[in-house]
Every structure is written in C-alpha cells, then in structure tokens.
Structure 1
C-alpha cells in the first residue's frame, strides 16, 4: 500500500484538476473551482485586480461550448492575469492562478497564440453539490487509499501526529512546539503542502495599536486521487460556515468523499473539518470577533512540501519571521514597570492593569504557562476580554489534538530555548573557540617546557 507521499509522486498536479466522469475536466467544473478559489481568497488587496480577471473568465465560460471557445477565454484570462503582475506579485492567489492557467492550457491543448474573447455580462449560479447515495457503503467510506492509517504499509510504526495552533493577538504554536507571539498583520500562509493550504488574514484589534487578530481564514484541500475533489473552506468574522464554499459538506461526488467533511459543533462558533484521507483534523472557532485555528496532522503530511516552494514562509512549519516576533520577556518587564509608574493610567484605560489581567486569566487558565501568559498579553494589548476565552479554547484544542500529553503546557523557559536557535549556535561557537584556545595554550606551554 502506498503512503500519501509515494502516491503524490505519481499523481498529476491535481490541485487544479476537477475530474469529470470520463477523467477530463469540463469548462464549467474548472471555472467553478477557479471562481470560488480566487473570489474568496483573502490575500487579494485593493491594488491587486486578480478578482476582475477571475470574474471575466467566469462570465465567458459559464456555458459549456466548443473547445476553441474555452481556449479563447483562457488566453484572455492569461492576458488579464499577466497585466496584474506588478501589483499582485506577492499575492498567493496570483501565483496560484498562474499555475492553474498553465495546467488548463496543457489539459485542453490550448495554444498561447490566438484570439481572445470579451466576457459576457451575466452572473451564473453554480449548481448545488450532488449528495452521496445514503445506501452506498463504498461511496460513504471509500477505499483504503482514502483512509490514511489504513493505507500505510503493514508492520510499520504508527504515524507521528503533530499539532499547530494560531490564536489571539496572534500566538503561534508550531508543529515543532515552538511558541511565538507575532505581529503578522495582513495575509500570511500557515500551511502549504501537497495536500492542503491554509492562509489567515490578521487585522488590527485597536486602531493605532500593534495588536492584530485573525479576521479571515481560507483552507484549500487539493484534489486527491479517487477520494476527494478540490474543496475550499472560507471563514471570516461573523461568518463561520458549516459547509465548504460550494455548499457541500463532504469531498464531492467520489467513492471516498466522506473522508473529507465539515462538522458543525456549535453554530457560528465551532467547526471541525475531518480529512481522514490524510489523517488530519482541523478546528476553527470564532471567539468574540476573531478566529482561532488548530490542526492535528501526521508528520509525513506536514513534510510533504512541493519542490521549489520557499517553506520558510509557512508559519506552522518554521514559525514567524524574526522581524515579526514580539519578545514576551520585554513586554512583561514593561508591563510590570508601567504598573508602578504613572503609565498605569494609560494601561488601565484599556481596561486592565498587569495584576488585574493576571487575575482574570487565572480564572480560566490556572497553570501559568505560555497560554496563560498569552492571555495576559492580549488583555493588556487590546483590553478585549474575549481573548481570555481564545487562550482557553486554544489550550482545550491542544488537549484534544496533541499526541503527547506531557507537552500540552509550554513554559516561558521552554519558549526561550525554542525561539533562540541562533543564541544556541552562538553559545556553541563561543564554547568551541574557548576549547581551541585552551588546547593551543597547553601546546604552547608544553613546547616551552
């Protein structure tokens, strides 16, 4: 039985393919995926006009027609995307559109040279997703290839599951159990591998403040063999859907569709996405006006990165960039100092002093680990009491998703060591130099004797 990594090496670039019954994507299927993906992707800014290109392509291919018409519309779409290159160069949706166009041109044997079309002025409504037959056990459960643990070779060690969490103002727990507090305003990718991508958008909590929190979240599950179609889940403040963007609650019209499904736990507050075909569980919550994210994922899936991707950009894998991190120790020292000076008034104006924030967080988080410290940090930086619950639920998700109960809590000394790899390298370098100096000194003394 092949593992997901082995299977991914022989499959085509499925992330942009929506296969029909005969194995060939129809124009309507392709348009639907492109339209949903690019219309809702949160990294699109006012300056990046990728949405305009998407809407024109959607309008011009809304009705299935001859292959020549589709190629004409695709060339027009390609030209439109190329015109956005200057303003969209750093946008993930722009780069995804580029790859998608390449795949579609190859699939439909479209020439880059030829006429382009003008979009038709209409706004079609995508058809509703077809439900799976309730009496079909095979279609409900799917073949073994659609169940991660079943698909592993026999007599192999159980998979190692890892956890990543993102919550509050915002705080990141990486797959390696590093705990960081970051600025990361705007759109940032949390995960990006061969099977799925996750991106968050963080917005200021208080005008003029450095405090930010997650207001949008997009998850793209890529097309995977006979198991699932490409699906996208998009959530934002006051909109936590109980379904994917196309209205479906599972992985599409395939034999293993129910190995990917959306389960609503608490309406408008708590959603769980189960992707059994890759052994992954994702929890999305809205706490107050902001979203939290937590995931449990096999290490093999975590490391299934695409060749050529710069993985340093993906926060759950490598953490926040150094220039985006906030030092807990310095913030704590400044807060304690402010408590004993006239600056206490300005802190209290936000609703909390350092001591009152600690008391409030103690109600939900009795252990003074970094979840507790993050709660204190958020109350002081924002004054929003809902961040107390964000830290509480983030820790509850750790207890549900983390595979090692001894590592639920992370304390300040652990984070200091985890977040300072360069400091460790510097120490080792200094130690080595000292050892070499001692050796040289001994040799010199011996030579003189």
Structure 2
C-alpha cells in the first residue's frame, strides 16, 4: 500500500516550491520611485524583476489569500502591477462577484481602466459576496492580528503583501478605505461620478465610486503620473485650511484615536497648513441615512441579480440584502431628497467653515482583532444598540459624494494595529488629498506604517 501521508506531503511540497521562511525580494521593499530608477538605470533587468515579482506573488498569495485569480506577468511585462477587485470587469479575466458558483467573462474592461497603460494586470483580488457579505478569508500582511475588513479586502491585502503596486476597488460606505487603513496602506475614494462605475457591480449607485489602493501616498502619486488611469496628479499648496471635524471629539472616539487625530493635525501643520476645528452639522447627522440608502438600493439591486446567480447566499449576506426591504418608499424618497440637498450644499459647507479639507479618523475605534465577534450583517440598521458608533465616519464622504483618502499616522499602544485618518475634500480634489498625505508621510516616516 502506498504511504498516503508521504504522497500528500510530496504533493503539497511540489505545489509550493518556496517555503514559509521565504523573504520578499529586497527590491520589493524599495519605494516605487527607487525601484523604477533601478530598472531605468540598468541596475535591475526587467526580466529579472518580473521573475522575482512572479515568484513572490505566488508565495505571498499562498500566505495571505488575496487573489481569486493570479497570473504571472512574464519576462517583458510592464514593471507596474495592478490587481482588480472581483466585482470589476477586466477583459480576459472572469468576474465572480465574490460568489462560489457564479462567473461571467466580460468582453471589455470597466470604464475606469480604459485609458490605463504601462501596467500589467496580474490579479483579480478577493471581495466579499456581492460587495455586501462578511468575511474574506484574507490575512493581513503587516498586522496579522487585525481583520482587514471591507468588501475590497483583497485590494488592501494584495498591495500590502507586495502582489501588486496598485489595486482598483469600489467604495460605497468605506469599502476601499477600511481595508487600506487596516492594512497600513493608502486608500483613495474618488468623487462620485456615475460614468466612472460602468463595468462595476452596482451596489448603491447613488454612492458607488471607484477607489485606488497603493502602498504609500508617494507611490499613488507616481502611479497617477505614469499609468494613464483617471487618478488626479498630486497637488501641493501652501497654507491650506484643514478642518478637524469637531463632532469626532464629542462622539466617544477612543483616546488612542483622538491622539492619532491630533498627531495627524500636527503633521500637516508642520508643512505650513492652518489646522482648526470645523463642524459638519447636518452632514454628520446623515451618516445613518447613508447606511439606509445602501441597504435600500442593495435590496432593489437584488431583484435584478437574484434570478441571474446560481449561488445560495450566506446568511449574513442575505440579511444585509433583505434589510433594505424595511426602508419603505416614503423614507427612501426622503433620503434621496436629503442626498440631493446635501450635495448641492457642499460648496457652502466648506466655504462657511472656511476650510479646504476636512480631517477625521477612519473609525472611532482601534481596528478590531481577528476573532472578535462578527456582526450578523455587514449593514448597520437603526435600532442597533450602539448605532451612532457603528455607523462610523466613512459615510461623511459617501453621502456627500466627495473624495476621501485614508492614510496611516501611527500604531496602537500595543503596536498590533494601524491607526488611520481620512482627508475629505471638495469634488475633484483628489490630487490635493494625495499631496497632503504625502506631506504627512514625509514627516511621520515609515514608522506610521510598519
């Protein structure tokens, strides 16, 4: 009789030629500008880089499970690597929507990818079921005790793990910002634009937006310059008015979060920006309405997708989808009217407060560790015992249709969790947000990230 244990050992050893002690290639740890300079200067051949990157991507995905489909770049592939969330269409890749059985094979890529060049698309990355489920199965490369969270989990993990330099996700209530913040990298939600989300699964069309994840703000700025993708180039202006959102201190944020918020303000002030407090008023109070709108629109969307998918959704996903049925039509119309009024009033909100950018934490709490009790549903509904805390801070940008960038400013007292802040700006101000985050990182150093 064959030794089955030995046969199994040989099988798994052959399937993973590298091992758990394999370290990432040192060139991968370089800032992206330095890596490209090394390639341009002849210090590293393109074929050599691609071989290193392909080998590491396989090992890294084995460890962190960021990808649903991973392909080698090949010897002459462009040196910049892109991963795309699995609810975003990419021609030549299957789109699975985070489901076990469903897939389609799009003839064309999502609109936001149309102008891209100089990038090798090497992966479709993990998402939760239909953008709205709980649990991804991904590990967290730099903060292994922290749950990466968010439906764009694979984007944050793939970038932090060194599988790709840039990842494209989607953000409704924070789905790009949460995993980026919890993996210690940078996540940018774009200004809401219905044309920009063609070729992406619609979850809440009123708030859906593309989002980009990169390792650092400087990497994101460089990718904006080189990739042809619709990421505005970084802008640097002196003396910007930064409004620290006053309601944060009044709403019970944890002391470590408030300390990190002060640190972020100091980092920006060190670059000559004027930091003061600013109130959001009604917009702050409408954070819950953003969750209700997402629930209602997801439920409406399910009427279209349920007949087209063969999967039986997990209980948590089904609860999230079905929660939208409780938002009746009068309440739905009321929220839509509030959203239209809010977006029309955004310029006045910035002008009246005399600020250019708002600064606030990503969340009121230090990121949850793995193993913490999971919620029954990904969508917080009115009546939750800790509703105001659970709806968090990310809906501010979502409901107003604004760009928002999350960036790391430090670590928790025990060193186990990243502490991330958000910058929220006027429509179209993404370049300004990237520039501010880059300035903050120059002062904070890499200790804020790893």
Q: TM-score, normalised by structure 1?
A: 0.26
Pick 1 or 2: higher relative contact order, CA cutoff 8 A, min separation 6: 2
